[in-house]
Amino acid sequence: MSNQIILTEEGKLKLEAEVKELKEVRRPDIISKIEQAKELGDLSENAEYHDAKDQQGLMEARISEIEGILKKAVISQVSDSKTEIGLGCKFIVENADGDRRELTLVGFNEAEPLVGKISNESPMGVAFQDKKPGETVEVEAPKGIITYKVIEIL
């Protein structure tokens, strides 16, 4: 597997906004909490101090993670094809019960299945890649094979 991380432009902007928020808002807030906790005295039994230091560690790890992702990121050109599903495409599918759902094919770092953003590396994302409206797709899921029909590419 490649060291590259595929992102859409939207995904890149979202990560850049998150790291900016962490650095410019959360970091100063946590530093302030640490300073206030230090003023309370004995650090060995100071729960506020230890909590703030834990928060600082988690936040710094997230900043480092995002910066690593952005360094390796390759911005994918969003497919504007209305005839074939590609990375960045929004499309509507219908399951065997007739329920319709809007999905977007994204890189794995942007995946949010609960809001319809499916990873291009997931079994579902792989199944939809390069499909056209009217085609049927079978996806193997833990509860069995689910059949979808591609209704429209938005």
* pLDDT tens column, 41-64: 776 777 888 888 899 999 999 999
Angle at CA of residue 58, ends 57 and 63, nearest 5° = 95
Check: CB of residue 154 under 8 Å from CB of residue 140. no
Domain with CATH 1.10.287.180 in the chain: 5-75
Per-residue model confidence (pLDDT) at position 99: 92
Give the pLDDT mean for 25-33.
92
Q: Is the dihedral of CA 114, 24, 55, 39 positive or negative?
A: negative
Q: Which of 3.40.50.2300, 3.10.50.30, 3.40.1360.10, 1.25.40.10 is the CATH number of 90-153? A: 3.10.50.30
Kindly report the number of other CB atoms within 10 A of residue 14's CB atom. Answer: 14
Distance, CA of 93 to CA of 133 (rounded, Å): 9
Instruction: Report the top-level CATH class of 5-75.
Output: mainly alpha
Question: Tokens in use for 125?
Answer: 């994302």
For 121-131, the pLDDT digits (tens) are 888 999 999 99
For 3-13, the pLDDT digits (tens) are 778 788 888 88
Per-residue model confidence (pLDDT) at position 134: 92
Q: Is 5 helix (H, G, I), strand (E, B) or coil?
A: strand
Q: How many Cα atoms occupy the beta-carbon half-sphere of 114 within 13 Å?
A: 0
Domain with CATH 3.10.50.30 in the chain: 90-153
Question: Tokens in use for 12?
Answer: 């890149």
Among 1-5, 26-30, 46-50, 74-78, which stretch is predicted with the lowest mean pLDDT? 1-5
For 77-89, the pLDDT digits (tens) are 666 667 889 888 8
Distance, CA of 13 to CA of 16 (rounded, Å): 5
Per-residue model confidence (pLDDT) at position 1: 42
Q: In whole numbers, what is the pLDDT of the chain averaged over residues?
A: 87
Q: Is 133 helix (H, G, I), strand (E, B) or coil?
A: coil
Distance, CA of 74 to CA of 136 (rounded, Å): 30
